[in-house]
Amino acid sequence: MASMSLEFCPNCANLLEIEAPSGTRKMRFFCPTCPYICPINSKIVYKEILVSKEMEPIFNVADEMKNAPKTQASCPRCHHGEIYFKQIQIRPADEPMTSFYTCSNESCRHGWHVD
């Protein structure tokens, strides 16, 4: 997959467009607003080292579920009879909410969701 870069007009700061070669004319950048033209004489290469951002978890089960309501239901892993639950709208508004469950058993803490 070829990478693309954005080039801007030095005169009016608009985004330059690329014009395909035609006849003896080489490929070039041109400004759609002013008469600026820049011929492309060599391969344009930009290298940028990307650094992965450390991601924080969206849901921290220990903190999030402390204040969540509880209900009587069976955990599918340990069969404990009480679970925490919460509902979040993660899809479009015309779709149902997603229910998240976490076992209240300290030694299990199994989590699952139902769409």
19-71 tens-digit pLDDT? 888 888 888 999 999 999 988 888 777 788 888 888 766 656 566 666 788 89
Give the number of domains in the chain.
Answer: 2
Domain span including residue 98: 61-114
Sheet containing 82-88: order of strands: 70-72, 82-88, 98-103, 111-114
Is 103 annotated to bind a ligand? Reply is yes
Is 38 annotated to bind a ligand? Reply is no
Q: Whole-prediction pTM value? A: 0.45
Cα–chain center distance at 88: 18
Could you give the CA distance from residue 13 to residue 7 in angstroms, rounded to a whole number? Answer: 9
Instruction: Mark whether 41 and 81 lie in a shared domain.
Output: no
Could you give the CA distance from residue 76 to residue 91 in angstroms, rounded to a whole number? Answer: 25
**pLDDT at 85 exceeding the cut of 70:** yes
Instruction: Mark whether 108 and 81 lie in a shared domain.
Output: yes
Instruction: Mark whether 42 and 65 lie in a shared domain.
Output: no
